[in-house]
Structure 1
Amino acid sequence: MSQSSSWQELVADKKRRQEASVPRNWLVTVPPDTVLDVTAFPEQCGLLSERELEITNTIDVGVLLQKLAAAEWSSVEVTTAFYKRAIVAQQLVNCLTEIFVEKALARAAELDDYLKTTGSVVGPLHGLPMSLKDQINLKGLETTIGYASWVGKYADKDAVLAEILYECGAVPFVKTNIPQTLMWPETYNLIFGRTLNPANRLLTCGGSSGGEGALIHLKGSPLGVGSDIGGSIRIPAIFNGLYGLRPSYGRVPYEGSANSMCGQDSIPSALGPLSNSLSGIKAFMQAVISREPWLRDPLAVRKKWDDEEYALAGHGNGQALCFAILWDDRIVIPHPPIIRALEMTRDALIAAGHKVIDWKPIKHLELGDAIFRICKAGALEDLMVATAASGEPILSSMSLTEEVIVDTSTRPDLIGISAYQLWQIQNAKAHLRKEYLDHWERTVEATGTGRPVDAIISPGAPFAAPPHGKNGNPNYTQVFNVLNYVACAFPVTKVDPTLDAKKPPHQFLNEADEVNYNLYDPITFQNAPVGLQLVGRTLEEEAVIAMTEIVDSALKATASA
């Protein structure tokens, strides 16, 4: 298609080519829209063999890697199994952008040949199929990040992260859906449309890594990569019952990946993993860091994987930890299922011998305001430049009405500010970070361990996955982006209308709190996954993973008791 093509022509061409990339014999008859929970459908549709179901139901990435390294399962059969399941997921919830079966299977065959010939694996992720958020460039494939104007924009080389994953032996096999611009906590764009939540298709899958969340929930990928500037890894992870790590800026290389608002480096986006298992989160971080990404990305942090930190040397060696629970941010009170998840986690940790205290949030409104004002400083011009080539409309909502900006004067929230004004916001942000650091340090007076709180356990949103277009509150995640704290999402339970009945109205903190209260109805949210996030300090990825493992084990021990 020519650069002068209309956005509608570009979209039609891309959709036609995407549909043609799906093997015809992998198409299935999907359940009608009235069937809301489609989680079990991949196992019922008849496309996958018993062995392929065994492979894709092996959610522990550590086990998958062991079987691949031992040649018990070949990379070709594992990749084929997950590919089939990913294509089923695509038909159910519309989660994919790029589908490249022949390329992926050729890569898997090369890895099998190498293992057979040498007796050795290529690297720590040998033979493992991996899904990538659309923005991560793969040579020869398109990257649109939801812009019709970018259809036909082929990458001339791999992103640094993709290079590293290939060197580690991984098999990138699909790219996944995102919202237009990436800057939404839901997933909808004018090219590929809307991605749905597999647990309840009337609810959002979250965003902006929503395609990853929905795909991995359906076990269409064992391990995926998303990005997070305000919650875009953790929100889809929580809404889809997954684990998802938001590292500090620069721990995972970003060089060569596409993005919105390039040049906004006060609160950068961070790439990180999503998986059905914590072993997947750990395997990804260890593998990527082992390749010394700071030698290829000038913004990558020079820090090797720290086994002492993973052993929690700075946290009492993992014994009798002190966790602080953020029950609410004093802006919006979470819905009943979220409160129940916090209570379940508190009780499980106490039963496991750890101490739990309350976390007093400070300046969360100001922190949220800082990221909003920094991101909007040049947002409108950035969006206008990105969409100018095709004249596509800029979405102003993720709602089902598909609203678009037709007159930029109606969006004063996106009007830019002067460089001096931006500096003042960034200066205020720096002061807020110092104030929060001091606040954390002072908790040494309440922990009884001789050290400050080891980690915060917090909601990732004041609700479980809401109906489409209703996810308007990312503050529970974005405040930790402003602070540059490491955070790992983890699953706890799911919405149960009996256990999670609506509570009588409380004294509302503000209008947003009242709106959030009125949003909740247990029947609307039924079956939605419910998760939380564990928050550690800057560049504390190893310790955050280890502490999340402790929390996860405590929850599982309580559930099986």
Structure 2
Amino acid sequence: MVFPFDLQHRRDCQSKHAQRSHRIRSLTAYHGPFSVLEREILQKPIQELVQDVQNSATQPIDVLKTYGKVALKAHESTNCLTEVMLESAEGWLKEGSINLKGPLAGIPVSLKDSLHVAGYDSCIGYSMHTNKPVFSPMARTLNDLTYFTRSIVEMKPWNYDYTVHPIPWRHDVEKEFLEKKKLRVGIMRTDGVVDPSPACLRAVEMVEDALRREGHEIVEVDLPHLREILRVASLALNSDGCLTYSSFLRPGEWVDAGAAQLSYLASMWRPTRYLYYLWVKYVRRDALWADLVRDFRPQSAFEAWKLVSQREKIRLAWFDWWEAAEVDFLVTPPNATPAVPHDGMGEAVSSCGYTFMFNLLDYSAGVLPVTHVDKNLDQLPKDFKLSRLNGVARGAYKLYDATAMHGLPVGVQVVGRRLEEEKVLSLMQRVEDALGDDKYELLEID
């Protein structure tokens, strides 16, 4: 739907943009270069900052302004902020409503806008959710990530959120895997659908070499149902034919290119989809892509329960595999390629197997940056041909360009079993320690 039926959508977007711009302009204290004190604050681990705030050695307003400056600087480059709450946060400090003796005393956090904060919108990108105010942590360093996650669990969130498992932080597990002398490490080099790009594979190999030098046992793994996982996860996630997220769209409102691609596939007329499936399978001879698109449509209740049954069979197979392999953890690429260009997910939307599979399995996983794309080391082989790839891999590799991506961060994924967050964080620390001087260099704030 186009003009004139998209007027309300346009008005709300313009209103929201204007509101955000006004809030940012009014924060005069958050602009300008970083002071010596602010640089010192940024270099401190959050555990040390918390202690300084609790002991009144550092003022919480200084911490807020420092990280507020970083947030605005990031926004200048990436347009990442939807709601700017810094002025409200200053007010919360002045009125004394902030607990400055707790385990995260004085530490600012950013929230995904699917989480509700009183007085602010939680629009998750839909214009119809603007002007109607209503846990997967990331941190700059691994040390901060561990401290933050531990602190959240030690607050006993199950007492105020019924969805949280009532499992206290297991310090013994954390300590065990920080100190275990010899680890057994499974290396997952591919998800069976899209082989990792040279940059992403190099990061895995750097970690493999580092762990081997430390004397740990490296195991080549043969994992079950890799391609089946992508099929089951894709159909289960989109079992409504993408109708739920589409239902929030107003006339004229656009969506992410990847979401648009999924909606297009799901809404194809059934005979057309079947003809497309036959063409992909027998003319293009791409059985994997054909298998994905054949049933990509709204599923009946009966079909949805069949997917649940298939998921549980996959989980059982992985449980049996892990028991037999006796590995402490897996090292995998987190994605087949580094970050793709803006709007690139229209091509690469189905290339998500390295994370998708662990969502389906409900495993604990953490991503650790290791290195950067190097245009001299990470070029595709001279004999590489896009036409040889399956449909999923082709979408991902259309966007891979080591020269254009030079300098982008590349990491590895550390994977444990279900409800093993303490263990995974400890093993991420072991990986970072093993890398030594080769570990990831943080970006400068200037």
TM-score bucket (shorter structure) = 0.7 to 0.9
**Cα deviation, residue 146, structure 1:** 0.4
Question: Which segments of structure 1 move beyond 6 Å, counting only runs of 4 or more?
Answer: 402-408, 411-414
The alignment partner of 1:334 has SS state of: coil
**Shift of residue 365 of structure 1?**
1.4
CA distance in 2, matches of 1:84, 1:147: 27
* CA–CA separation in structure 2 for the residues paired with 1:359 and 1:55: 43
Which residue of the other structure, out of 439, 454, 462, is the alignment partner of 2:336?
462
Find 1:86's aligned residue among 63, 68, 71.
Answer: 71
The question of 1:437 aligning with 2:319 is answered yes
Distance (whole Å) between structure 2 residues aligned to residue 351 and residue 365 of structure 1? 33
Alignment of 1:395 with 2:255, yes or no, is yes
Gaps of 5+ in 1: 29-44, 116-120, 156-270, 444-451
Q: CA deviation at 1:26?
A: 4.1
**Which residue of the other structure, out of 261, 286, 289, is the alignment partner of 2:150?**
286
Whether the 8 Å CA contact 2:241–2:267 is kept in 1: the answer is no
In structure 2, the CA distance between the partners of 1:512 and 1:283, relative to structure 1 (3 Å rule), is same
Counterpart residue identity of residue 468, structure 1: H
Does 2:434 align with 1:548?
A: no
Amino acid in structure 1 at the alignment position of 2:314: L
Distance 2:84 2:439 in 1: 39
1:488 deviates by 0.6
Partner of 2:365: 487
Write the mapping of 1:42-441 to structure 2, written as runs, cut at 5 A.
46-56=32-42, 58=43, 60-109=45-94, 121-155=100-134, 271-312=135-176, 317-387=179-249, 390-395=250-255, 397=257, 409-410=267-268, 415-441=297-323
Deviates more, 1:485-494 or 1:86-95: 86-95
**Pairwise CA distance, 1:318:** 1.8
Give the TM-score normalised by structure 2: 0.83
Between the aligned partners of 1:59 and 1:373, the Cα distance in structure 2 is: 45
Amino acid of the residue matched to residue 207 of structure 2? T
Query: In the aligned structure 1, how far is the partner of 2:131 from the partner of 2:63?
Result: 30
How much has 1:24 moved relative to structure 2?
Answer: 4.2
Tell me if the contact between 1:396 and 1:404 (Cα under 8 Å) persists in the aligned partners.
no
Q: Distance in 2 between matches of 1:71 and 1:555?
A: 36
- Offset at residue 309 of structure 1 (A): 1.1
**Contact 2:370-2:439 within 8 A present in 1 as well:** no
Cα deviation for residue 461 of structure 1 reads: 0.5
Aligned length: 405
Secondary structure of 2:243's match?
Answer: helix
Q: What does the per-residue CA deviation read over 1:88-127, in whole Å, with 9 as the maximum and x for residues that have no partner?
A: 221221110111222111223456x989xxxxx4210001
Q: How many percent of aligned residue pairs carry the same amino acid?
A: 26
Structure (1 or 2) with the larger CA radius of gyration:
2
487-496 vs 460-469, greater mean Cα deviation: 460-469
Partners in 1 of 2:154 and 2:439 — Cα distance?
35
Deviations 1:312-332 (A, max 9, x none): 2xx595210111111112211
Aligned-pair distance for 1:375?
1.5
Q: Which residue identity does 1:310 align to in structure 2?
A: E
- Cα distance in 2 for residues equivalent to 1:66 and 1:517: 47
Structure 1 range deviating more: 421-430 or 286-295: 286-295
2:19 to 17, 20, 23: 17
In structure 1, give the amino acid aligned to 2:173.
E
Q: Which structure: greater helix fraction? A: 2
SS in 2 for 1:545: helix
**Is 2:387 the partner of 1:523?**
no
How far apart are 1:75 and its partner, in Å?
Answer: 0.5
1, 6, 9: which one aligns with 1:7: 9
Q: Tell whether the 8 Å contact from 2:236 to 2:304 is kept in structure 1 after alignment.
A: yes
**Cα RMSD for the two superposed structures:** 2.9
Gaps of 5+ in 2: 1-5, 274-292, 441-446
Greater mean alpha carbon deviation, residues 474-483 or residues 498-507: 498-507
Change (3 A) 1:54 1:277: same
| Alpha-carbon shift at residue 355 of structure 1 (Å) | 1.4
- What is the rounded CA distance, in whole Å, between the counterparts of 1:323 and 1:25 in structure 2? 49
Partner amino acid, structure 2, of 1:554: A
**CA-CA distance at 1:59 after TM superposition:** 5.7
CA distance in 2, matches of 1:8, 1:405: 22
Q: Which has the higher contact order (CA 8 A, sep 6+)?
A: 2
TM-score (norm 1): 0.67
Which structure shows the higher strand fraction? 1
CA contact (8 A) 1:332 1:513 kept: yes
Q: Is the 8 A contact 1:349 1:554 kept in 2?
A: yes
The offset of 1:495, in angstroms, is: 0.7
Q: Determine the C-alpha separation between the residues in 2 that align with 1:486 and 1:559.
A: 22
Note closer, same or farther for the CA distance 1:435–1:101 as it changes in structure 2 (3 Å cut): same
Counterpart AA for 1:433: R
Aligned equivalents of 2:47 and 2:374: distance in 1? 31
State the one-letter code of the partner of 1:52. E
Counterpart CA distance in 1 for 2:27 and 2:247 is 41
